[in-house]
Structure formats: structure tokens, C-alpha cells
Structure 1
Amino acid sequence: MGFRSHAALLALLSLLLCCGSALSLKSDYALTVVENPDGGEEGGVEEEEATADEGYLEVVQPTEEWQTLRPDQAVPAGSHVRLNLQTGQREVRLGEEQLKYWTQEHRRGEDLQASFSPEELKQAIKNIKEDLSAGSPPDAGQQDYVVPEYRSLDELKRDMAQLDLLVETDVQIMKRLLEQLNSSSCTTEQRLSLLLELEYLVHQVDNAQTLCSMGGLQLILQGLNSSDFRLQESSAFVLGSALASNPLVQVKAVESGALQMLLTILVTTQPLLVKKKVLFAVAAILRHFPYAQHHFLSHGGLQALSELFRADGGGVLRTRIVTMLYDMISEKEMISQAGVDGLLDTSHEERVHQYSKVSLQEELLEMGWCGLVPQLLDSTEHDDREKALRALLSMAPVCSGQYRSDSSLLGSLLSLRDQYQEIIQTEMSPGEDNDYFADIVELIDALQVKIK
């Protein structure tokens, strides 16, 4: 038989097979002819969709091996179906993507088959929707299961009452701390811990006043008078926190002799940490309290500070001292300027009268502070220089004569001005805020005007 005859016979055979398979299949499949590895020819069928419109179909779970497929069977999507031309039957196995992820665990469960009718699927979907509906109440069985998992509110209240919880107020806590602090059996370490807890509480104005009414101020002063510098430091810290912006406690402290005790500690040999906390307490007792400031000056407070300033070679305390002096000068100036508008009440007149008794600037001149404060300009810290310049400006009304004769001060002002001008022009990055350094330059200019 010639080549053309073989080709014609093959074409006719393929047409008959395609027509016959189309009539015998219940589901729609796309048929393809693939090469039979055994030497024959077979039609490879790649399933696009398994339909179950004609009633019940058994769903076959394919494996990695070819298996025969009956006419009443359907296959899952993605399976590979072919028509064996030697046997005339359809065969199915896993598709290429399915074979890629086929594992031994899947093989062990390949005997399990699932078969569902269309009515069963529709009813299952309907049941799921009903279960998920928001308004569906749980059935009695569910309620019997859920209720025991939760406890009633009465049971919770009863259990909480059995705990006998004790919530202490700040007043009760301070009373307990002071009783322990006053105990003779209290060790130094325990006293330090108690003072730390008190310091946290007395930041509140009411608590600090309550501390005084309970006699706690006397216990704090006893700690200041202790021979243990740790107790002195902690006691000064508690006292300063209680005094901050609290006029009632300020009055009680001055009446109790706290200011004299603090000044005594400053002029005696004490560790630096103690003197830092004592300065903190002194500044707190003097702030906005002209009576205490007058008392401070009359008891040699400026003399004590000048000795401390000269002895502080490291400069740790100098900035604190100069800042405290500047605050005292500024307070008096603000009170005096506030009376310029003529709107004075009785309390303001009394404060002006009290500040008039505080001759701070005159004593600064006598104690040599016009020559001490400029030494702070030698610091490498910008903050120290700024505070020194502000203090020098506030002292200018009484110190301008000494400023003019102080060549070291005039040279420092010129050098600092050039330095900060260079920082503003060259070292500042584009868009960076240079207002701080510009303010320092303005302070220098203002001071130079005062000196001329």
C-alpha cells in the first residue's frame, strides 16, 4: 500500500474515533492525540470541566498511574484524561501540576473517594448560610455547652471580696513611710529606700503640705543633719522636691530653720553630690519668696555661695549658682516692672514692699560677684556661656564700671562674638535652626552696649 493510501486510512480512522467518542461521552472533554509509549497511538483528553447536569456521577480520585474510566464516572478539574486507541476506553491520571506535588501521604489516602449529588451539594451550601446568619440563636445544646465556660458576675464579685484587696491612698502611704522612717530599728539602707519613695510622692503640692502637717519635715531635717552623706543627699532631694512651687512648705521650711542648715552644709566639707542636692533645695526655698531671700542674705548666703564658686574647679556647681542669682535678680525686676501700669492690688503692693528689702545687687557688688560671674564664660559649654551672659546683663546696673576695667571680660566678649558669628555663617547646615546662636550674639551685643 502506498504512502498516500496509508495517510488516507489514518485520517478516516481518526475521524471515526472522534465521532464515536463524542457520542459515547456524557461530559464535555477536549480530546488530543498523543504518542503511545508502547508503540500505538492514543487520544489524550485534557479535561476542562466535569459537569453533573445529567444526575448522579461518581467522582474518581486519579493517581499517578493510568486507570480505566467508566462512562458513569467524572474526574476532578486538572486531571489528565486520554482515550486508549488499543482498548477504546477512557483512562485518567493526575495532571502535570498535580503530579508535581504528589506525596506518599496522598497515596495512602487514594482509596478515599467522595461522591455527592447536586441536591446534596445545594443543601450543604444552604445549611452553611443558615449557620452563618447573624440572627440565628444557638440551640439548646450549644447553650448548655457555652454557659459553663463563663462565670457569673456575682461569682466574680464574691471572689474579689475574698481577696480582701487593700488600696492605700497617698496619705496612708506617707503615714506608713514616716512611721517606718521614725523607727529606731530602721537601718540606713531602709531609710534611703523610704526617702526615695517620699521624694516621688511630694512632687504633688497636696502631698508635700500633708507631709508638713504629719511632722515629716522634721524627720527630713534630721536626715540633713546626719553624719551619713547618703542620708544628707537623699534628705536634701526630698526637701527640694517638696519646696518646689509650694509657698506653704517654703514658709514652714524657713520657720523650721531649714535654710540655715542648708547653708551650713554648703560651707562645710561635703561630697559634690551632697552639695548639688543642697543647692537644689536652696534654689527651691528662695524662688518667688522674698522673705526667704532676705533671710538668705542676712545669714551670709552670698558669702557661702562665693566660697563654693571659687572652690568649684570643675565648674559643675558654678552654673547652678549663677542661674540661681540670675533668677533672684529677674524676679525683683519683673515685680518692679509690673507696677508701671498702675494696676496694683493689695497683694502686689505687699510683694513689692517685700522685694524692696532684698538688696541683692548691692551685696553682689560688695561680695565681688562682678568679677566672679565672667569666669563662667571660659566654659566650653554653650549653655554655661548663655547663663553667664544673662546674669552679667542683669548685674550691669551695678557692675558696669567694673566691666569696663576688666580687660579679660572685654576680650572674652569679642572672641565669643566672632566664634558664634562664624558658627552661624559657616558651620550651620542649610535649613538648620540657628536662632539659639543668634540669641547668644544678641546677648553679647547688648552687654557691650551696657559696658560702653
Structure 2
Amino acid sequence: MKFCVYLILFCVSLIRENLSNDLILVDDSSNVDKIDEKFEIIDEEFIPTHEWKRVKPGQAIPKGLHVRLNVQTGEREAKILEEEKPAISKEFEESLKRINNEQLIPEKSFGDVAHEDQIHKKFKSYDQLKKELNDINFNVQTDFEIIKNLLEQFKSSNRDQKIAILKDLEFYVHQFDNGLLLCDLGGFDSILNELNSTLLNQDSEYAQNLIIVLGSAVQSNPKVKVYAIKTQLLQIILNRMSTRVLTDELQSKFIFTLSGLLRNFPLAQNEFLKLGGVEILSNLMRIINSIKLKTKILTLTDDLIREKIAVMKDEHDEKVVRQYEQINLMGELIEKKWCDHFSGLLAVADDHDSIEKILASMMTLLNSCQVRLQSEELVKILKNHVDVYENLAKTEQDDDYFARIAKNIKTILNEVKSKQDL
């Protein structure tokens, strides 16, 4: 019970305190005079101040004052209305302080020529930007325009200029569509005719660049390969490769182009056999000295044999299978005594990459080269190699690579031994 009494007294005191502090904005003193009280009207003028001042009963007050009813005294009070200034947060004040006045751009007065010149120096005008953009757009050319311009320049250029143009063309014709453009614009024929009429050994650099462009165009581009066959590129390549006086650099470029033309193109492979291509390669293997170049030729023939094996095993298109069935590259190689080259190559090869590729070719022809691989000289060379690679597999970091080579040698030796025991 006592608690309830205390609570009521506490609430009354809060109400009285709040009422004494509440402000009422008066727009018209007549609203205040409507309070239901009886009081005497006083003619004395109320002179307001900035402090709260008692308003006598019945005394009129001017408009626009703050008026309150003091509950403690029961009297009205009024004072001059002061406009409240908006509160500024501390964060805003701090941000104002941090502004660097030097970064503010002063308002440019009329006729400030120096300021205007400074702006022109710092920024480009609209007309300048427009001109530069137009220039850029004018200089941007499509691959079609570039290749066309290069071929036009090629016709009237000197030897050094032509080499530079050929290097540019090599870069572009690697792309599928650009290889087709080279054919459509007559560039393939022009370069092939130039190659056919060039004395290769008299200008080896120029000839090599001609060959590389053609080789780059046919690589992985079936449509260009078909076009190349029609232009008799294969005949020209084989004819030039049969020349005994060519440098290894030239022969290497011809192998590059021949490889690009034959891979995954059974029509060209069949034509290659009809034109005596295996005999030409076999002759090259006997007359050239470069082990790396001989290894390139071995790798090409090995890849073509493996390609046919893969197609006959996995290809479901009967037309494609029939095309590969007509190709007897392995038979041609055996007939031209291809297996005789292995012994001599392994005896002089001094780098792991060449040895690995020679062994891979031997593995492919293992069953077909049985008699040739049984020579004592070859067996001795193989045994020496297996010892070397087994030791390398134990001591070198790339042990898997050397172990794989050693395994291939052992496979060949075991096959040779099994045939000897029969």
C-alpha cells in the first residue's frame, strides 16, 4: 500500500516538472486567452525579453512569442521566440576541418585568360579527342585488310621487304580463318610459285620463309590442306627435297611443311606414297648427317603409322576407315629397308630426346623389323643403353622418364631374344 502511494507521488512530481518545461508556440494571443478563467483585463502593454517574463492576468501579449504555463506558480510566462540553430554533428565538423583548401577550385572570374589557358593545356578539347579517335578507328584494320595489303606489297617489294612480309604472314596464317584468306586472296599460289622458281641454295633465307608460310597455313587446317593438294604443293615439296645439295635448314623446313600436310589427311598420305615419298625420305636418311633431322623424319613416319592404327581401332566412320585401309606406309617402309637405319642412329645419338624417339619408332615396327633387329651390333648397342638408363633412373631426379626409356629398351631386347630362340 505504501509502495502505491510513493509511486503516485513520484508520477505527480514528474508531471509537474515536465509541464513547467514544455514550450507552446503561439501564433495568435487570442488562442491563449481562451483559457476558461475569470481575470481582470489590463491595458498595460507586455514588453517581451529574451528571458521568461510573467504575464499579468488579462494582459494582451504580441504574436510570435514563446508562452508557457508555470504549473508551480500557476502563472503564464512569455519570452521572445529565438530561432533554433540546426545541430551540427561532431563528425561533420571534423570532416569540414579535414578539407584541404588548396584542393578547392576557385570560381573563375570573367576574363581570367590565364586560368583558361591552363585548362586548355591540361585537358584536350573535344575537337582534339574526336580527331584522335577518328585516327585510331582509321588505323584499326581487320585481318582480311592486313593480309590483303601484305600480299599487294609483296608483289612490288624487294627481297628484304618480302622476307619481312613473309614473317608477318606466318604470324597471321596460323589462325584457321586467315589460312583460308591466304588461299582466297591468291596468296598461297603466289608464294608457291615464288618457291618453285627460287634457286633454293642461292638464297636459303628467302626460301625458308616461303616454305614456313605454306607450312603454317596447312597446319591443322583441313580446308587449306585440300586446297594445297590441288595446287600440287606435295609434288613441289618432294621434288625439292630430292635435291641432294639442299642444306639441313632447308630440308628441315620442308619436313615441317610435309608433316603439316600429311597428318590427319589420308588423301595426302596416299598421294605421298604414289609419288615415291618413302623412297625420297629413305634417301635423305642416308645422305644427311644431322641426327636431329633424321629423328624428325623417323618421328613423322612413326606418327603416321600410329595414326592409322588408332583410326582402324576407334573410328566409326566407314568412309574414313576405307581411306586409311588404302594406305600401306608400313609396308613401303619395310620394303625400302627402313629398319636398317636404327642401328646407326642409336650408335651416334647423344641426347635423350633423340634416343627416346628412335626407340619409339623401333617399338612401332618391332614385329615387322624382326630380322633386321637381330644383328649383334644392334643388340650390343641396346644393352649398353639399358645399363645407362637404369643407372640414370636410380640417380637422377627425372627418374620416371629414364625408367620408361630403359623399359622400352628391355622390351625390344626381349622381343629380339624371343625371335632368336625360335
User: What is the TM-score with the length of structure 2 in the denominator?
Assistant: 0.69
**What does residue 322 of structure 2 align with?**
353
Distance 2:363 2:125 in 1: 69
**What does residue 213 of structure 2 align with?**
238
**What does residue 177 of structure 1 align with?**
150
1:129 matched to 2:94: no
User: CA 1:196–1:130 in 2, change beyond 3 Å: closer, same or farther?
Assistant: closer
Distance 1:360 1:374 in 2: 21
Distance 2:361 2:97 in 1: 81
Distance 1:142 1:312 in 2: 86
Gaps of 5+ in 1: 1-124
Contact 1:224 1:233 in 2 (8 A): no
**What does residue 131 of structure 2 align with?**
159
**What does residue 197 of structure 1 align with?**
168
CA RMSD of aligned residues (A): 2.7
1:389 matched to 2:359: yes
**What does residue 365 of structure 1 align with?**
334
User: CA 1:167–1:422 in 2, change beyond 3 Å: closer, same or farther?
Assistant: same
Aligned ranges for residues 60-139 of structure 1 at < 5 Å?
129-132=97-100, 138-139=105-106
Distance 1:189 1:243 in 2: 25
Contact 1:374 1:392 in 2 (8 A): no
| Amino acid paired to 2:413 | Q
Q: How many residue pairs end up in the alignment?
A: 313
CA drift at 1:229: 3.3
Distance 2:287 2:267 in 1: 28
CA drift at 1:159: 3.0
What secondary structure does 1:445 align onto? helix
| Amino acid paired to 1:154 | Y
| Amino acid paired to 1:408 | E
What secondary structure does 2:99 align onto? helix
CA drift at 1:162: 6.5
Could you list the per-position Cα deviations for residues 245-268 of structure 1 after superposition, in whole angstroms to 9, with x for gaps in the alignment? 111111111111101110111111
Could you list the per-position Cα deviations for residues 139-193 of structure 1 after superposition, in whole angstroms to 9, with x for gaps in the alignment? 425998585554367344333156474222211111111122233xx32222222
What secondary structure does 1:399 align onto? coil
What secondary structure does 1:274 align onto? helix
1:271 matched to 2:241: no
**What does residue 282 of structure 2 align with?**
306
**What does residue 159 of structure 2 align with?**
188
Gaps of 5+ in 2: 1-92
Distance 1:408 1:365 in 2: 20
- Kindly, what percent of the aligned residue pairs are identical? 32
Could you list the per-position Cα deviations for residues 216-257 of structure 1 after superposition, in whole angstroms to 9, with x for gaps in the alignment? 111111122112433321111111111111111111111111
What secondary structure does 1:373 align onto? helix
Contact 2:248 2:290 in 1 (8 A): no
1:442 matched to 2:407: yes
CA drift at 1:130: 4.3
Aligned ranges for residues 216-365 of structure 1 at < 5 Å?
216-225=187-196, 226-227=198-199, 228-268=203-243, 269-339=245-315, 344=316, 348-365=317-334
**What does residue 377 of structure 2 align with?**
408
Distance 2:291 2:404 in 1: 23
